[in-house]
Amino acid sequence: MASQGLPEDVVIEILVRLPVKSIQRFKSVSKSWRDLIRSSMFIDRHHKRDGKQRVLLLKRSFLLQDRCRNVFSFHDPDFPQASSIWPDLSIPIPDDLEYIHAPVTVHGPCNGLVCVSLCETVVLCNPALRQFRPLPPRDIEYPEGYLARNLENGFGFDPNTGAYKFVQFCEIRHRKGRFRDRSKYPLNCTMRIDLYNSASNSWRQIDPQLPLDMVWWFPCFQLFFNGAIHWSATLDNQAGHSILCFDMSTDAFRVMDYPDDLDKINRSHRSLMVLNESLAMVLHQPPKQGAQLVDIWVMNEYGVTGSWTKQFVIGPYSIACALVCLRDEWLLCESENGQLIACALHKYKFEEFQLYGREKSPRAMVYEESLISLEMVIPGDGMHE
């Protein structure tokens, strides 16, 4: 392929440096350009290139005529207060679920892909390509009189096999009881864990091989980092919370400890995020208690409990949820009224942005666009844009 006398390799070098939005338009130039842009070689080079475009991806919810509209909005991470750099993208939710008051949760990102979940429904998405594909439903039969309550989920990538995986926890309990009836349902079955693998496009139940008691939901705690998904959990044989990790390559669970003196810290809300390429934990009080200090702990050596250090104490601020770190300089948060605010890490300074969308499950992430099509991830029918 050549264009106006340019060698093919030069054309490829030019195209591979362009953002996804521009490349999508160039598909219509010619059949050869379209085939090139769709090729695995080109997609892989585009994904691994330097200087990827990064955007701040927000999941926001609005109540319109008794229906909850969920959208992705795209913002410049250097100027979040500016208008969206791409048009908002509506998140498709089945009609029969639109009236459910459970939150729509977002998991990822991973190689430009995210997963959106609501109750039992899970949808894989490439926001840059504006593609969605629902995952197949789990085939589960519960004992008579029992039902399941979804606890937590997680999404990640196995670099050894190239497969994308989704982990779903649910608690099994009796319809007449608020909690689990352990006398009728064995302890190791009260917590059910299912794993979806894109390579087979199917689910299977997995055993944690740990005395797992409960996986707890905290806004913005679930995180895919360093090849593993992380949650907050409790074990039957331990007091207090631990960080539960699921290794995407081995399909094995392990636990990491919180900072040693975490129990002495009066901070009930917690979030996990990445700061300076390290795992970080943000601790703060709920906004109803007024402005409070915000503690930021960093695990300097991944997996080593003794490497936790408190690197920042900022505020006092009144925040409902800590969302994500921007440029390792700002902590992006949601205020009590759903407004987006950014708190500086190195000095007492904060900025308010005219972005709202109050809900039970806020989500913000630094997102790197990708040309990875869902047709490559899950072959077959079922994708829509």
Cα 78 to Cα 21, 110, 127, distances in angstroms: 19, 21, 20
Q: What is the DSSP string of 329-355?
A: TEEEEE-TTS-EEEEESSSS-EEEES-
User: Is residue 257 a contact partner of residue 143, using CB atoms and an 8 Å limit?
Assistant: no
State residue 181's pLDDT score: 46
Cα 178 to Cα 107, 148, 160, 173, distances in angstroms: 28, 12, 41, 7
Domains present along the chain, CATH in parentheses: 1-51 (no CATH), 52-377 (2.120.10.80)
State residue 174's pLDDT score: 67
Burial class (CB in 10 A: 0-12, 13-18, 19+), 352: exposed
Q: pLDDT under 50 in the chain at which residues?
A: 1-3, 179-189, 382-385
pLDDT of 129-153, one tens digit each?
999 999 998 887 777 777 777 889 9
Both tokens of residue 11? 């054309």
CA 150 from chain centre, in angstroms, equals 16
State residue 163's pLDDT score: 95
pLDDT of 351-373, one tens digit each?
888 776 655 567 889 999 999 99
User: Is residue 315 a contact partner of residue 267, using CB atoms and an 8 Å limit?
Assistant: no
State residue 102's pLDDT score: 63
Helix/strand/coil percent split, the chain, to 5: 15, 45, 40
